[in-house]
Amino acid sequence: MAFTAEEFISLTEKTLLYLIVMDNKGKMLHTNKRCEALFRLPKNQSIGKSIYDYVIDKDKSDFEEAIFNLCKNEPILGRTFRFNSSIQSGILSLKFDFICHDNLIYASGIDITEENKEHHALVSLSKLTKTGAWYFNPVTEELFFSKECYRLHELKPDTPITIEDAINYYHPDSRDNVKNHLNTLIHTKKPFDYTERLITTTGIEKWVRVLGEPIVHNDKVIFINGSFSDITERYNYIKKLKYNEETKHLALKGIRSGLFDHILETNKVFYSVDFKKMLGLPLDQEFVPEEVFRKMIHPDDIDGALERHTKNLKKDGYHYFNYYRLKHIDVGYRHYEVYGYRKKNKKGKTIRMIGNLIDVHQKKIKKQTIAENQSRLLAMVNNGYAYTVLLNNKGEILMADEGSLQIIKRDFNIDPTVTTARFIDVMPVNFKNTFANEFNKALKGNEVKKEIERITYKGSVQWLEARYIPISDNDDNINSILVSFQDITELKSAEIAIKEAHIKEQELSTLKSNILSNFSHEIRTPLNGIMTISNLLLQGEEKPEKRKRLLEYLEESKDRLLKTINNLSHYSEIDTIQSNLDYQELDMNYTVETSYREYRHMAKSKNLLYILELDENCPTAVIDENLFRTALNNIIHNAIKYTDEGEIIVKLKAIDKKKCILISIKDTGIGIDNDNLEKIFDPFIQESIGLSRKYEGTGIGLSLSKKYIEVLGGKIDIKSEPNKGTEFIITIPHNL
């Protein structure tokens, strides 16, 4: 029989379901009384409100999608959404069923908040403990994995998996064991708990603990519930602990060491069994009285050992250290070092001490031998080379002579005998460039020799011959490098002096040849012209026109000869000229232009573009006009002389900030190479020299120009590139 209207209304109002009728936009048209707690409003006031105002932000899009799809398809069942509510700590989880009828949406929901919380807690616990759930139906062979199980296998969730697939994920050595565990559970109906290796889809090996619990019906296993736990970290940790424990025992045996546990209140000491055997202590006694042990200490060491023992127990901190000789059962006394850690009571008194005794007898003997050998070696080192340093294969200083130690302490405030120091960090800067290379060569077994120049503490130059000698151990492995420095300053100075003298001798010889050939040529050539023309004129047979030309040639030869002699005279009388200068304030535009005009015909005869650029501000300078023009004329003459095509630019510019005037003479001539650029102002030097030189002249002109400009308080700079041209820049101050 169907519900009456009254019964149906009563049912909807008293049910625990949340009942809502809304349009397809989410606007609520009807709600039951149960919804008042959800919407925090009386039933009649929730009408007209949008349900989206109460759905939490993260779930809104899913809710909208459900409503949208509902209008097109079949009913939607079992969808969970969360709401902001006045109950359940503010968040309410409801599982809804939706149907659509006459363009209205009917929703009924049930509160699953507690179940949802428990589910989230279990999921979180599963992730934190790396544990997943599984079940297996041995009848249908259906296998289920939880998400964490899939994660442990590095599989995508919901990947189809069979029992055979699951077994194949185990390490090959574990697969038979897993099958046996499963078959045994099915036959014995008893749970299993085993640990085996698993190989994930990416090849990572994991250790897993697997639990299985059978569900039995009619004496037959119909279901197996179980869990997977990733215990890789714990398994490896336990394995490491076992390994460390084994290593500790082996190490103690290897270094002839023994553990002890000293209870100070009873004065009893526990010693490890192996140590008791070495010392001849009774093996049947777990604890040995301290008095028995003290009798085994060497008589000469007992007082010092007891004094250190007492001080150790009273001092702050927890660590303990002592040393003495102990009597062994067969081999007499041996040196031991004692390291311990103290436990204190609330009053700060030591009540227990745990530690070990280490046999350092061989170490002690070797230390004494090394100390003796070191003293002998130091005596040799200090009386051998200027400086000697012994390095290990890392470049750290093992030993050094007194002189080297003093320098390192003084310059770097480091004592290599106390603090470990790399040699490269405490050496002069100019040593570092080659040290690493030479040191590495020596490490390969090569004996290396290198000459080094250094500036001493007093500022003088010192030359050293560095030698790197590799030193090998008994297995021919290089373990150290002996670096020695021999002072060769006197030898090197003599060698350099001889080389410089030889070079100077060659330069003087070349200069002498150039001077003789240049002046022989520069004097003989015009003199021959004068003599030849004079003879022709004396014969008187030439026509008037030819006679006139001969007289012009005679004048040119006379001028050339006179210029050569004047240059020589000026060069030798530079000091006299300097004391007889006539300084005047001159218009530099006019002065430069005068020199420029003087060589216009020469530039024109070679078809060169001859340009003058003056400063429109008409700068002035206080100079000797004759001296300045002689210097400028020489440079302009040279520029035209060494340029066969292109242009000559003479430019004047005043620089107010520097209170000076720049005169630039730039050509497109033959240029000057780098080797000759530094010597171009030397007397008797030309770009091409000797009788085969391309251009006439003595080579004095530029040298005179430089000296004259310097006398006037200025300077000459030069820029040049072979086959592209040269630029001379004269700088003259406005006032001296």
- Taking only the tens place, the pLDDT of each residue in 544-601 is 777 667 666 666 666 656 665 665 555 445 555 666 778 899 999 999 999 899 888 8
Long-range contacts of 552-555 (CB under 8 A, 24+ apart): 553/529, 554/529, 554/530
Q: Residue 86: is its pLDDT beyond 70?
A: no
Residues 669, 687: Cα–Cα separation, whole Å: 12
Say if residue 498's pLDDT is above 60.
yes
Of 155-164, 235-244, 523-532, 536-545, which one has max mean pLDDT? 155-164
pLDDT grade for 369, boundaries at 50, 70 and 90: low
Residue 709 in contact with residue 729, Cβ under 8 Å? no
Given a cut of 70, whether residue 80 has pLDDT beyond it is yes
pLDDT digits (tens, 9 = 90+) for 690-732: 333 444 444 566 887 888 888 889 999 999 999 999 999 999 9
The string of pLDDT tens digits covering residues 120-151 is 555 555 566 678 888 898 888 888 888 888 88
Q: What is the pLDDT of residue 537?
A: 67
Output the pLDDT for position 296. 82
Identify the CA nearest to 653 among candidates 618, 680, 688, 624. 618
Res 636 pLDDT > 50: yes
Going by C-alpha positions, the residue among 266, 300, 268 that lies closest to residue 281 is 268
pLDDT tier for residue 72 given thresholds of 50, 70 and 90: low
The per-residue pLDDT for 693 is 43
User: Which pLDDT does position 694 carry in this prediction?
Assistant: 45
- Whether pLDDT at 84 is above 70: yes
Q: Provide the mean pLDDT of the chain.
A: 79
Neighbours of 601 (CB within 10 A): 9
pLDDT confidence of residue 394: 87
Strands 715-721, 647-655: parallel, antiparallel or unpaired by DSSP?
unpaired
Length of the chain: 736
pLDDT, position 585: 92
Q: What's the CA gap between 601 and 624, in Å, rounded?
A: 26
Give residue 689's pLDDT band: very low, low, confident or very high (50, 70, 90). Answer: very low
> What are 285's two structure tokens?
């006694």
The pTM score is 0.31
* Between residues 468 and 362, the one the model is more confident about: 468
Q: Which of 636, 566, 563 is nearest to 594 (CA)?
A: 636
Q: Of 155-159, 175-179, 379-383, 706-710, give the lowest mean pLDDT range.
A: 379-383
Residue 91 in contact with residue 82, Cβ under 8 Å?
A: yes
Token pair in block for residue 706: 């430089």
Residue 687 to residues 347, 645, 668, 726, Cα–Cα distance (Å): 97, 18, 15, 12
514 vs 501, more confident: 501
Residue 687, pLDDT score:
43
Pair 461, 489: CB distance under 8 Å: yes
Q: Residue 50, SS3?
A: strand
Q: Which two tokens stand for residue 376?
A: 């002998």
Residue 468 and residue 391: Cα distance in Å, rounded? 10
pLDDT band at 158 (very low <50, low <70, confident <90, very high): confident
Tally of CB atoms within 10 A around 479: 13
Strands 609-613 and 647-655: parallel
At the topology level of CATH, where does 5-117 sit? Beta-Lactamase (3.30.450)
How many Cα neighbours within 13 Å face the side chain of 437?
6
Q: What pLDDT shows up at residue 683?
A: 61
- 84/642: higher pLDDT: 642
% of the chain surpassing 90 pLDDT: 14
Percent of the chain with pLDDT over 70: 78
Specify the CATH superfamily of domain 129-237. PAS domain (3.30.450.20)
Q: Which pLDDT belongs to residue 691?
A: 36
Pairing of strands 620-624, 609-613: unpaired
Confidence check: pLDDT of 377 > 60: no
Q: What residues does CATH 3.30.450.20 cover in the chain?
A: 5-117, 129-237, 255-359, 365-487
Provide CATH code, domain 494-558: 1.10.287
- pLDDT for res 589: 93
Q: Cα–chain-centroid distance for residue 565?
A: 68
Note the CATH number of domain 365-487. Answer: 3.30.450.20
Domain 581-733 has CATH 3.40.50.2000: no
For residue 527, pLDDT beyond 80:
no
Give the mean model confidence (pLDDT) for residues 242-248: 63
Among the four given CATH numbers 3.40.640.10, 3.40.50.970, 3.30.530.20, 3.30.450.20, the one describing domain 255-359: 3.30.450.20
Residues contacting residue 401 through CB under 8 Å, at least 6 positions apart: 378, 381, 382, 384, 385, 387, 388, 389
Q: What is the pLDDT of residue 652?
A: 95
pLDDT at 404 over 50: yes
